[in-house]
Structure 1
């Protein structure tokens, strides 16, 4: 694992190196950078590392400026003595947000979280290749019962699918609700992943139905949907990076 540390305090950088060395002795610290300018230059000229530990307050400004100046493909663990930057960190490809003084257990958790997400990326990548080979036919409409008649609802009119007590409901953007026979697992195979995302065990949501995303406890995300839904809808910490990636496509 190749790691870059962006930290302007030498003692803090040395302490972090020691923690990483104790947690993952095989890890290689390929660079220790102390300013926005230095980080932008290094990230522009070198291949992305596997992981970045980045302090938020640097000698020449806020480290979020780095990500405005250069496209960073590596996941980032932010470190700071302040907690008011969690929202800003959420917008970047962040794995974790650690408050100083750093503790070895927290650094170890952040590294393991990155490794787990990387494994999941590989597994999902293989799953995606398999799906491409199988080339499933995407659903363009759903037949639902409407009173005594049958109605066809185009997929683009669907805001989300919600599983409640073993029944899957289709919700349209105009707030109507219909029962369908499909399971969410089946829908995940049948719908275009560019438009629909399996947010959790109960919800598959259309990208245009996501009204707001809020940081939640332990790296999870809370979704506010349109049309409004009473039940709390949470994206797990393991799926949160994929969800943010999907929203940003």
Structure 2
């Protein structure tokens, strides 16, 4: 099987390649592309692979633009941290739609689906429709929230479940995932993106710099002008203040 990976995060591309080769050792990874521009140029100048793994959010825009600018004559498995693009993904030559961080079991199922697709005489678009209807019948929710994150730790990649995250912190131009053990990892999402991805019953956007897990809230006390002062576990340097406009919603969230 000859494949191409389109992914703008090098460690995510490397991790995906490693899992694919572990599942299908004879796979030939022809290229790892990082942008729409690079992908359009590559597909215009090279023989197309058997299968493409494609992230949706790339450094220079939405990867669906690739398929508008050039014809990709092979099936695609989309990989993304967002689930709102599922319908649009199935309009392309899509075999499957995997939410990041990608687990080995989900990846194996997607590859098997591709292999089964090769054995059927159904046109790809009809097969996609059947897949979509099947997923709907199983009750897959378009509002399903992110349950785990893939982070870089030294030279390796590890997965951290959302329940182990104490809070997300914007600091010095990056967003950090901080675990209850106090470990910090850089994540490639903004707080605005994370706010949409996380379960609102568990996580609350306290201010511009912080999204907190309800289990990380150690102490809440009144502050000036209707604001609240927040103490977290693990502790965080500096005062964590919740504005008066958010104080009521925060109290409701805590069920105070």
TM-score w.r.t. the length of structure 1 is 0.50
CA 1:214 to 1:13, structure 2 compared with 1: closer, same or farther past 3 Å?
closer
Change (3 A) 1:214 1:111: closer
- 1:218: Cα distance to partner? 2.7
TM alignment of 1:88-103, pairs within 5 A:
88-103=88-103
Q: Equivalents in 2 of 1:217, 1:98: separation in Å?
A: 15
TM-superposed CA distance for 1:48, in Å, is 1.1
Are 1:216 and 2:123 an aligned pair? no
Q: How far apart are 1:87 and its partner, in Å?
A: 1.0
How far, CA to CA, are the matches of 2:135 and 2:50 in structure 1?
Answer: 22
Structure 2 unmatched runs, 5+ = 138-256
- Asked if the contact 1:96–1:219 (Cα under 8 Å) also holds between the matched residues in 2, the reply is no
Q: Deviations over 1:97-140 (max 9, x none)?
A: 0000001111111111111110124xx79xxxxxxxxxxxxxxx
Partner-residue secondary structure (3-state), 1:26 = coil
The total of aligned residue pairs comes to 135
- SS of 1:118's equivalent? helix
* Contact 1:5/1:52, CA 8 A, preserved across alignment: yes
Tell me how far 1:216 sits from its aligned partner.
2.6
Partner of residue 218, structure 2: none
Q: Following superposition, which runs of at least 4 residues in structure 1 exceed 3 angstroms of deviation?
A: 212-215
1:46 and 2:52 are equivalent in the alignment: no
Matched residues in 2 for 1:73 and 1:82: separation? 25
**1:92–1:111 Cα change, 3 Å:** same
Q: Tell me if the contact between 1:5 and 1:31 (Cα under 8 Å) persists in the aligned partners.
A: yes
User: Over aligned residue pairs, what C-alpha RMSD do you find?
Assistant: 2.7
Mapped to 1, the partners of 2:114 and 2:70 lie a distance apart of 22
Deviations 1:155-190 (A, max 9, x none): xxxxxxxxxxxxxxxxxxxxxxxxxxxxxxxxxxxx
Give the superposition deviation at 1:90.
1.1
TM-score by length of 2: 0.49
Distance 1:2 1:37 in 2: 21
Q: Residue 19 of structure 1 contacts residue 104 of structure 1 at CA under 8 Å; is this kept in 2?
A: yes
Matched with 2:59 is 59
Aligned-partner Cα distance in 2 for 1:213–1:3: 24
1:69 aligned residue = 69
